Structure 1
Amino acid sequence: MALSCVEEGVCLHEPDGRLMYANPAAEALLRAQPRWAETHGRLEHLVPMQALHDARAHGCWSDSIAFLSGHTLEARLHWLGADAGRFLLLLRDGGATRSEDDQELQLRHEELNVRFNAAQEQLLQSEKLASIGQLAAGVAHEINNPIGYVHSNLGSLQEYVGNLFALIDVYERAMRAHDPHSMRTEIDDTRERLDVDFISRDLPQLLTESRQGIERVTAIVRDLRDFSRSDREHAWRLADLHAGLDSTINIVWNELRYKATLEKEYGTLPMIECLQSELNQVFMNLLLNAGQAIDEEGVISVRTGHEPGQVWVEIADTGGGIPAEAMQRIFDPFFTTKPVGKGTGLGLSISYGIVAKHHGRIEVESTPQTGSRFRVILPVRQPQPGGDA
């Protein structure tokens, strides 16, 4: 291959950051760096996440990459979106920074990276809580509705129990009187007056409805708890994506129900290795965006499928679509096509970061006035350290 003779380091990466090819010069430049061995050459661990956004938005990003060893590489990142939808990373030796000041600068740079990652995690958690805050009125309605009829049913239950105790009291008095004819007459009159026949029919249904209402409230609270918790203290584990989708839909449903019809087409999915609450954040962002894209009435479709080694979740809407000039910027932080006050511009950017963290990718198709389709593609198992890129 001609690139094997080029002195400049050349790396070709998939849209999700996976390394496709590195020429010998690139391998020589990077092999000695810890990140190269530990991350299998993934792009987001070689350059800042902002570099990926800038390359997508402007076609190119350039800066130096610094390592703890004090070594620097001059890097240029090109987005080949119009061609193959891949990243091209070009590297040159920037030399070693040997002064104590430069070493201190490198250490501070690494420290800032650690702080930046912590800030990103805090931002993710804040965005989760902000999303729940945005949906608070709808969630309150979803809880108040079953609580309302449980409260009403308890009032009826109290009356029914009083009537039944009154009938039992008549039985006891009649038994003490030892007058069968009088006993039968008083019991029949009491049963009719208290409408005991109706109580016997209505009481089981009342209890069933109340139990369902309590179970509904329990499910909503559980979904909120699972969604809002941080995964920082939780290890990667096998999870059911369908369960995560359903719990997220339960949380956002009141926001969607008045303008959209929901269509679900679930395939058969294996359990996947992931941080489920973070993926639930992705699903919530995509569902809310789909709902906001629909002005009056439309359809939101949620589909899932399984291919060798990976699964996909697709959320589509019949809304207004994304303008062509905005497509290259939709994953940029703080970029939004929504009116002022309707969005922070962080939802898709955070979703992109979460999916990249899971070694996956997001594919987007949109047609103005027809709708948009976002497909999240995830590996079934996360790459293991020391494995192939």
Structure 2
Amino acid sequence: MNIELPENGLPDALLDQMSMEQVRAMVSELLKANEELKELNGKLSDARTKLIQSEKLASIGQLAAGVAHEINNPIGFIFSNFSTLEKYLQDLFQMLSAYEQAESELGSSPVAARLRALYEELEIEYLKDDIPSLMNESRDGIQRVRKIVQDLKDFSRVDARQEWEWVNLHNGLNSTLNIVNNEIKYKADVVREFGELPEVQCLPSEINQVFMNLLVNAAHAITAERGTITLRTGHEGSEVWIEVADNGCGIAPENLSRIFDPFFTTKPVGQGTGLGLSLSYGIVQKHAGRMEVSSQLGQGTRFRITLPVRQAQPA
């Protein structure tokens, strides 16, 4: 809101009663008040945007948890039925072996000839090799689906009540990697250089959101045919640190000081909201931590998150 003087200036009667210094002081105070109002308005707008984004993330988390729950039920009985099917197949193969022995005892009778012809027509030898292979691949697929469902539940924290918990950050990194795998697998190889970490007191769903933002940004920064994203962790005194580094395009020096500003993005129009890093920075601050970045054009970017192991006074 801008405050302007009347077009004809201050009334003559008022000017007669005021010195020029008083007029300047009054104008200065008005301008200062105007700047304070602008700053307050900006903070309110920023807070509103973060609140809306937080509500969206909460809704996405609930949706992911619901989907995971619905998928988990049919996967459970499929897995159970699959184990039973494997046992049945073993019994059938055992019976088939008994028939093969009986066939050899029939000699050259017409019955033996028909059995031999049917055996070859159905390619029983091939089936005996292929069926176990198909079963193993199917079991592997079901286990992968179960792992994805579990990672969805871990990521969204279906049981989360915004309570501070003691968690293993490596589990959070791994489950988040599985969630964003489709963003990364075609663009980069992920290298894990994990150190020893104690359990950390945090809000797991929010920390996972920070990991997701950094991993997706790292994948988007890789412009070569294929790049590398390196995850490092370590423990120093009462703090732990997590690094997400890529060998992508890097960030221009003039932009480094602005990347945590709301709505600032170096991505093309329509490809980024400019809120991911801003929200991540706010989450890390909420955890009494630090978020640092170093980057060189053409060589890549490294984000480092430092968190206290124990919260002094959880909000």
Same fold by TM (over 0.5)?
yes
The answer to whether structure 1 residue 308 and structure 2 residue 308 are counterparts is no
Partner of residue 168, structure 2: 240
Q: Give the match's secondary structure for 1:238.
A: strand
For these two proteins, the number of residue pairs brought into alignment is: 248
Q: Which runs of 5+ in 1 are unaligned?
A: 1-61, 65-111, 134-142
Q: Give the match's secondary structure for 2:190.
A: strand
Partner of residue 124, structure 1: 54
* 1:369 CA displacement: 1.6
Distance 1:249 1:217 in 2: 15
The code of the aligned residue for 1:258 comes to Y
Instruction: Give the alignment partner of residue 290 of structure 2, picking from 361, 372, 376.
Output: 361
Distance 2:186 2:232 in 1: 21
Q: Give the match's secondary structure for 2:150.
A: helix
Distance 1:340 1:384 in 2: 41
Q: Give the match's secondary structure for 1:263.
A: strand
The answer to whether structure 1 residue 256 and structure 2 residue 177 are counterparts is no
Distance 2:158 2:199 in 1: 21
Partner of residue 143, structure 2: 215
Asked if 1 retains the 8 angstrom alpha-carbon contact of 2:176 and 2:212, the reply is: yes
CA displacement, residues 333-357 of structure 1 (integer Å, 9 cap, x when unaligned): 1111111011000000100111111
Partner of residue 261, structure 2: 332
The answer to whether structure 1 residue 291 and structure 2 residue 291 are counterparts is no
Distance 2:205 2:145 in 1: 20
Q: Give the match's secondary structure for 2:288.
A: coil
Instruction: Give the alignment partner of residue 303 of structure 2, picking from 374, 377, 381.
Output: 374
Q: Give the match's secondary structure for 1:374.
A: strand
Which structure has the bigger radius of gyration?
2
Distance change >3 Å, CA 129–CA 291, structure 1 → 2: farther
Q: Which runs of 5+ in 2 are unaligned?
A: 1-34, 38-42, 64-70
The answer to whether structure 1 residue 277 and structure 2 residue 277 are counterparts is no
Q: Name whichever structure is richer in strand by fraction.
A: 1
Asked if 2 retains the 8 angstrom alpha-carbon contact of 1:231 and 1:277, the reply is: no
* 1:226 CA displacement: 3.1
* 1:131 CA displacement: 11
The code of the aligned residue for 1:126 comes to K
Q: Give the match's secondary structure for 2:189.
A: strand
Asked if 1 retains the 8 angstrom alpha-carbon contact of 2:247 and 2:301, the reply is: yes
The answer to whether structure 1 residue 225 and structure 2 residue 153 are counterparts is yes
Distance 1:330 1:128 in 2: 24
Q: TM-score normalized by structure 1?
A: 0.55
Partner of residue 247, structure 2: 318
Q: Name whichever structure is richer in helix by fraction.
A: 2
CA displacement, residues 309-364 of structure 1 (integer Å, 9 cap, x when unaligned): 11111001111211111111111111111110110000001001111111111111
Partner of residue 180, structure 1: 106
Distance change >3 Å, CA 292–CA 331, structure 1 → 2: same
Distance change >3 Å, CA 130–CA 367, structure 1 → 2: farther
Asked if 1 retains the 8 angstrom alpha-carbon contact of 2:62 and 2:158, the reply is: no
Distance change >3 Å, CA 281–CA 125, structure 1 → 2: farther
